[in-house]
Amino acid sequence: MGRLILLLGGARSGKSSFAEARAKEIAADSVLYVATAETKDEEMRLRAIKHRAARPATWVTVEAPRNVAQAICQEQSGQRVILLDCITVLVANLLLDVAGPEEDPFDDPSADPFDMKIEASVLVEVEALLDFVRETDVDMFMVSNEAGMGLVPPYELGRAYRDILGRANQVLARHADEVYLLVAGLPMQVK
């Protein structure tokens, strides 16, 4: 049975850097890096290039904006550690697939973002990842934002996103072997 290590914190809190350092300590070159972001514009494309260049060249990178557990099963080839960065973007991808406005993210959503089917689809993804960890002998680091500590988003889609992400994080934390909260680059182990 594998181990799940969940890393939570705000934007630029040091979650990914901490996860990468821990992954390198445990497995050196034997890491599968799973990126959930989609490179839909030039800024994201350049970010992806920069992030990939900063990681060891021996790490295998998989881009999986959806169906992450399935992608991991297909791409994993004996790596001792899997680093999934990040749950935050995965949840956004799934929510926007169903309820995202066509153009402006502040426009009214195209469907009810509070529809329980959306949250259910996110939890199906989360459960598939948990099943993978239970069925393998790898350490999996999952990075996610703690989005519930700030202001309440002023628009419906933002509030639905915060709620769904918060519940997904709770499920992951409940099943995790270790949970860290990062603040200003400092990790605090909370489980």
- The pLDDT tens digits for 22-38 are 999 999 889 999 999 98
88 HSE (CA, 13 A, CB side):
19
More confident of the two residues 144 and 118: 144
Structure-block tokens of residue 57 = 């060249």
- DSSP result, 57-99: TTSEEEE-SS-HHHHHHHH-SS-SEEEEE-HHHHHHHHHHHHH
**Which residue in 88, 93, 68 sits closest to 146, CA to CA?**
88
Catalytic center residues: 51
**Domain boundary assignment for the chain:** 3-189
Check if the beta carbon of residue 93 is closer than 8 Å to that of residue 42. Answer: no
Select, from the ranges 37-46, 92-101, 135-144, the one with the highest average predicted confidence (pLDDT): 135-144
pLDDT of residue 157: 87
- The pLDDT tens digits for 40-80 are 888 888 887 888 888 888 999 999 999 999 999 999 888 99
pLDDT of residue 91: 96
pLDDT of residue 43: 86
DSSP type of residue 28 = T
- The pLDDT tens digits for 71-91 are 999 998 889 999 999 999 999
**Which residue in 132, 28, 23, 29 sits closest to 72, CA to CA?**
132
Name the CATH superfamily housing domain 3-189.
Answer: P-loop containing nucleotide triphosphate hydrolases (3.40.50.300)
Please state, rounded to an integer, the average pLDDT across all residues of the chain.
91
Coil, helix or strand at residue 113: coil
